[in-house]
Structure 1
Amino acid sequence: MEGTRSGRGRGRGVRLPATEGGSRETMPELNPEPRIDPNVQVATAIQRMTDLLAHLVEHQGQPPVHQPGNPGNHIEGEDRALERFQKFSPPKFLGGPDPDVAERWLEKMIDIFAALHYSEERQVTFAVFQLEGAARSWWNVVRTKWEKEQTPRTWVNFMREFNAKYFTSLVQEKKEDEFIRLHQGAQLVVEYESQFTRLSKFAPELIVTEPRRVRRFIHGLNVEIQKDLAVA
């Protein structure tokens, strides 16, 4: 019946007991916030981590892809790719003895290339554009050595040379050990992911394939989350 129809639906209020003056006040009913599935959070973090580190193996050892037809298409493609790269405002790197400066520059390059999904050879080419001064002189030596030894222009090889030049053996070993021992602990998944990404560049051989990266990432998660992820 219309007289007894309840007021269910969106925006329905909760009626409070009458006050001393006999009036009733109505408070809006607050809808509870949706519960976020922790499995979804972990899966999202794994996907984001995979995308962020995909440049380590993407097109590894493969020659650059040339556009068919007009030979000028490849040059135009390079120009457009460079324009997209510059829109991220990549920093210059001058070299120097401060490992923190070198690490910040390398992290920025990794972040940019993860967003652009360029081939490894293109990543090396564009990273070199940002080298100036002593860093550029260092690269000229490396380039000559690579040409003589026919070393593939991959991002993994570039990081190996960069680490050897701008991080002492002690720093590299320390960072690699931190990466090997890395576990989530009391961190949020996103915080653990950030640490994983930061330290992984000091141990590229340990995560050279996508399955190995994902497996090591999951291994460092808390056991409870690993179990939930396995069930999911």
Structure 2
Amino acid sequence: SNRRTRSSSSSRQSAHRSVVRCTQASTSVIEVCRAYRKPSHATSQVTARRRTHAEGHGRVWELEKISHSGLIRGNSRRLLTEIIMFINQNISACSIILNFLNVQMPPRKEPDHPVPTQATVVAQFRDYHAEKFSGQEDPRIVDEWIQGLEFIFEVMECPERYRVICAQLQLTGDARLWWNAYWSMRPGEKAGCTLEMFKDLVREKYYPTYYRAEMERQFLSLQQGTHTVDEYEREFTRLAAFVPDLVCTEAQRAQRLIDGLYPAVRHNIVGHGTQTYARAVSIAQEVDASIRREAVREQFQPSAPAQSSSVPPMPALPSTQPPKNNKRKGK
């Protein structure tokens, strides 16, 4: 009997705590419902009203469950019933406002970004003042011009379908005459021309195949030799532009660079594990500078017995003076 009494008392205390908690939480619901009785056309408030409406129903359900449990009696139960009725009235008012807003104000859609027109894109492209190309038969000029166009297209986020239109505007002189003559013999095909096709056609016309083959040969045989890492890296970058298929990934580019380094420099980089291109260049510069400082220091040290060294000496830089004639004159 004592156990049942304690259990009943504990249940009543728990129920009273639930009533207090729900009543406190319902206060904010009631205040929000009152505020929302005023007509408002702010779309941002629709979501708040819906959330308040749902929260109010949840509180009412919890309070009704306590009321029907029989744990709250007398004046407390009558007060609880009044609270439930008051919340329901405000929820009904909130429901009316929600229904009105749903009819009068459907969910707002975000405006779509306007599709750029050809005139807009061309005007934007002209603001970058891209270089003109008049048909110089110099592969380096051709490559620099094409790379300049690609850089502008990337910066301005030019749509692919407008890139050829913008690029051909930069053709002048003989280049424009050639371009117009080429498509005059292929009516109806120009619309399908992409930027890649445009670049291939320009290079085929002004960029001899033998020259590209020579640049590829030089790239594959490129070695640091007696040059500094900075000098080697600049030449590597220049030649790599002619063979994009050989350095199409970061790993391939880094490995190609490492393979051509001076052996002592290359061995130090390999010891650091896999490297990105930028990291490989940075380590190579540090190692190269260290080896050269050591070589200079040894030149000014007094002669001493030869000692084994784990780092081979860096070869002397080539002389810029013409070679001397070493033939002895006849006596």
TM-score when scaled to structure 1? 0.49
Task: Identify, as 1 or 2, the structure richer in helix.
Answer: 2
TM-score when scaled to structure 2? 0.37
Structure with greater Cα Rg: 2
Indicate the structure whose relative CO is greater, using CA pairs within 8 Å and at least 6 residues apart.
1
